[in-house]
Copies of this chain bind each other. A is one copy, B any other.
Amino acid sequence: MSTVTAPSEISKSRFSLSRLLIGKPLETRALPHQVVSNPIGLAVFASDALSSTAYSIEEILIILALAGTGAVTLALSIPITLAIVTLLIILTISYRQTIHAYPNGGGAYIVARDNLGELPAQIAGAALLTDYILTVAVSISSGVAQITSGFNALYPYRVGIAVGVIAFMTIVNLRGVRESGRIFAAPTYFFIFTILFMLIVGLVRSALGNLGTVKDVHELVRHDVQSLTLFLVLRAFSSGCTALTGVEAISNGITAFKEPKSKNAATTLTYMSAIMIVLMIGLTLLTHQVSALPSERETIFSQVGRTVFGASSVFYFALLSATALILLMAANTSYADFPRLAALHAGDGFLPRQLTYRGSRLVFSWGIMGLATCASLLVLVSRASVTALIPLYAIGVFLSFTMSQTGMVVRMRKVGKLHPGEEVPGRETVMRYDPHWRLKMFISALGAVCTGMVMVIFAVTKFTNGAWFVVVLIPTLVFIFFRIHYHYRDVARLLSLKGVPVDVEKRPIQTLILVDDVHAETVRLVNFAKSLDHPWHAVHIAVNPDKVELIREKWRKRIGEGDLVIIPSPYRLLAEPLRQYIEELQAQTPGSFVHVILGHLAMDTFWEQALHQNTAVLFNLALSRMERVVVTSVPYQIHRNGLAHEPSEAIVPLGH
């Protein structure tokens, strides 16, 4: 057994367009193993969570406004925000535990698989995959809405812009983004400081009494006024809970932190939650102060911003661009998470294997393309409207929160049964006794119950607005995942060699040459068949009965050896008569191989190729269902222009 040397470099001549867009191929050993400091980690992983504040407050107000735009009604946004903040605190404490338990990465899929089994893991995974797609669609739609708030002339082109942004982001990600790059730090901190600055200016001006309220709102979202029911308040609450999407990001990316990884990740999570709480409460108060009202053409952020800073202030445009930028960053995190999670599923055999292949730039190209396609479709269908997408969003995330924390409850019960000091190695991580297991189990259980309740509230209050789609989709996905899994399992079983003796005896081979006409290509086929040194004969399928005599004559004159069998084909079919002929041959010599040799004219360009029949592909397909029928395609190269490639053979193909 030998190993040949690595190719010195790969050919430069081909795939020039894709190479231009995607970049030069990268070697496998170039897979990055970098780690980041806590401030950079915060910037990288917080964009998703922080950016949701750009639409969550708005979506709360849109629901409340259904019951009229009175001051008392809209003031309900404040207690709703406080409820969401409480939920965030519970989640943060609960997820710190997960981070410590799974230092190698504690995403919902892994935690559920480790503690609950395959079905819950697939449910959590399907939910997360769905939500990653929605994150892209919602974040980019919201980002574009920020831009069109500032530049109203762009409003009619919002769908095109959003799809264009997705396409751009897809190309960037197919090139491969160094997730840990410092480039991510800038927009996140730019956003945090811009918002904090706006909060301070706004609250100071409010205290001085010269803040005022929003002027010249374009057009309000108008509905028939409903009465203010508990149902409506819960619906507003669940809309606001979209702010919590992205909180799980750090638990997926623990390995990106410096040692001690778990501790650093947990600390960063705490910082992130603290910042979120400040932003959410501050923004809710300020929004209420300036009496911003939801409008289809201008975001709440834009209204608050121009009231605080003035519509022509540079800070107002800084706010809009910071918001648009962090929303794009948030979408970009899905471009990292979705393909990675899909590859995990595929590695376990629940999604097509192709999702585990790294492309020329080491990224999971299939996953990136799949994400981009689904997100673009959502943007097109929803006409890039955040409000239309929100009812579909966040159910998946809350389902995965619930699964993950339920998994932690199960794990803590097991931990509680260990003796002090005992360690049990698991699939993902080592399980150690923990004296505080009861408290930790309680926190995880509390988190699971809360997020589970929110998910139910979500599904019920928004069912008719679109949530039904997700309620149907996730079980469907899980069903498909298992179908795929059973397929791979069965194929593996059918291919397994366990207990099967290796087939050592040689078998007879009957060789057929498929002849359409007799010319230089045919000579090569005959030459190959003769070189093989097995019994052979030629076969012509008589699609055109008028040609038969001519071909017989040519065969006799030009080849002059070997039998030429004519198979009639009254229905002008190619594969069907051949199949019947082969079946007869196989019946005559059971257990033999039938070896079909056919020619393939290989042209230099696609257009030239399209002018020929290309029957090789057809026969390969048609005969692939027959046991022990082997198809050989013998290419014959045609170089019309300059004969540049194989000068010695192209014109005088034989007998040199």
Q: Does A520 contact B (CB under 8 A)?
A: yes
Task: Please judge, given known A-B contacts A352-B610, A566-B3, whether A27 and B484 are in contact too, CB under 8 Å.
Answer: no
A631 touches B629 (CB 8 A): no
B558 touches A530 (CB 8 A): no
CB contacts under 8 Å to B, within A533-572, are 533-534, 545, 552, 555-556, 558-560, 563-568, 570-572
Q: Does A488 contact B (CB under 8 A)?
A: yes
Bound complex: CA A4 to CA B359 (Å): 50
Bound complex: CA A424 to CA B32 (Å): 82
Taking A494-B640, A620-B633 as known contacts, 10 extra A-B pairs with beta carbons closer than 8 A to each other, sorted by chain A number, are A2-B566, A4-B566, A7-B576, A10-B573, A353-B611, A491-B640, A503-B526, A507-B531, A600-B624, A631-B632
B506 touches A520 (CB 8 A): no
**Nearest Cβ distance between residue A23 and chain B, in whole angstroms?**
12
A635 touches B645 (CB 8 A): no
14 contacts between A and B (CB under 8 A): A2-B566, A3-B565, A3-B568, A7-B576, A10-B576, A28-B545, A29-B570, A359-B572, A497-B558, A504-B530, A506-B527, A506-B531, A528-B630, A624-B637
CB contacts under 8 Å to B, within A508-534, are 508-509, 518-521, 523-524, 526-528, 530-534
Q: Does A580 contact B (CB under 8 A)?
A: yes
Bound complex: CA A553 to CA B66 (Å): 69
Q: Does A601 contact B (CB under 8 A)?
A: yes
CB contacts under 8 Å to B, within A395-424, are none
Of the listed residues A503, A595, A652, the one surrounded by the most CB atoms of chain B closer than 10 A to its CB is: A503
B491 touches A503 (CB 8 A): no
Q: Does A581 contact B (CB under 8 A)?
A: yes
B3 touches A357 (CB 8 A): no
Determine the interface band of chain A, counting residues with CB < 8 A from chain B: 35 or more
Chain B residues with Cβ below 8 Å from A632 are 595, 630-633
**Nearest Cβ distance between residue A1 and chain B, in whole angstroms?**
5
Q: Does A220 contact B (CB under 8 A)?
A: no
Q: Does A314 contact B (CB under 8 A)?
A: no
**Nearest Cβ distance between residue A54 and chain B, in whole angstroms?**
39
Q: Does A654 contact B (CB under 8 A)?
A: yes
Chain B residues with Cβ below 8 Å from A221 are none
**Nearest Cβ distance between residue A490 and chain B, in whole angstroms?**
5
**Nearest Cβ distance between residue A220 and chain B, in whole angstroms?**
31
Chain B residues with Cβ below 8 Å from A509 are 528, 531-532
Closest-by-CB residue of B relative to A562 is: B1
Q: Does A626 contact B (CB under 8 A)?
A: yes
CB contacts under 8 Å to B, within A1-30, are 1-7, 10-11, 25-29
Q: Does A649 contact B (CB under 8 A)?
A: yes
A494 touches B650 (CB 8 A): yes
Task: Please judge, given known A-B contacts A495-B519, A506-B530, A533-B533, whether A500 and B566 are in contact too, CB under 8 Å.
Answer: no
Bound complex: CA A624 to CA B602 (Å): 6
A626 touches B630 (CB 8 A): no
Q: Does A426 contact B (CB under 8 A)?
A: no
**Nearest Cβ distance between residue A170 and chain B, in whole angstroms?**
20
Bound complex: CA A495 to CA B599 (Å): 12
In the complex, which of the residues B1, B353, B519 contacts A613, with contact meaning CB atoms closer than 8 Å? Answer: B353
